[in-house]
Amino acid sequence: REWKKAGKNLRFFTTWLAASAFNNLADKIYFHDAELAYSFGIHLPLLNEFIESDRIVLSTETRAEQSYYRALFHLDTHLIPPYLDPDYFFPDPSIRIKNRIGYVIEDLGTETQINKISKIKNALKKNNIKAEFILAHGTESEFNLQLQSCDFFIGLNPGKDKFHSEGLARMHLEAIGLGAVVLAFDVGGNREFIFDNVTGRLIEQGNLNKLIESLIYLIRNPRKKEELRKNALWVCTHLFTKERTWLELKHFLDLD
pLDDT digits (tens, 9 = 90+) for 118-136: 999 999 999 999 999 999 9
Interval 25-63: pLDDT, tens: 999 999 999 888 889 889 999 999 999 999 999 999 888
H helices within 27-156, ranges in order? 36-39, 44-52, 63-73, 110-126, 140-148
Q: Tell me: the pLDDT tens digits for 175-195?
A: 999 999 999 998 878 889 999
Whole-model pTM: value is 0.88
More confident residue, 159 or 85: 85
3-class SS at 166? coil
Which pLDDT belongs to residue 48? 95
Which of the four pLDDT bands, split at 50, 70 and 90, describes residue 156? Answer: confident
Q: No. of H helices and E strands in the chain? A: 11, 9
Mean pLDDT score, 130-148: 94
Query: Please, which residues have CB within 8 angstroms of residue 176's CB and are 6 or more apart in sequence?
Result: 153, 182, 193, 199, 200, 232, 233, 235, 236
Distance (Å, whole) CA 211 – CA 17: 36
Burial class of residue 117 (count of CB atoms within 10 Å of its CB; 0-12, 13-18, 19+): middle
Phi, psi (deg, nearest 5) at residue 232: -65, -40
Q: pLDDT tens digits for 195-223? A: 999 999 999 988 999 999 999 999 999 99
The pLDDT, as a whole number, for residue 34 is 83
- Tell me whether residue 143 is exposed, middle or buried, using C-beta atoms within 10 angstroms of its C-beta: 0 to 12, 13 to 18, 19 or more: middle
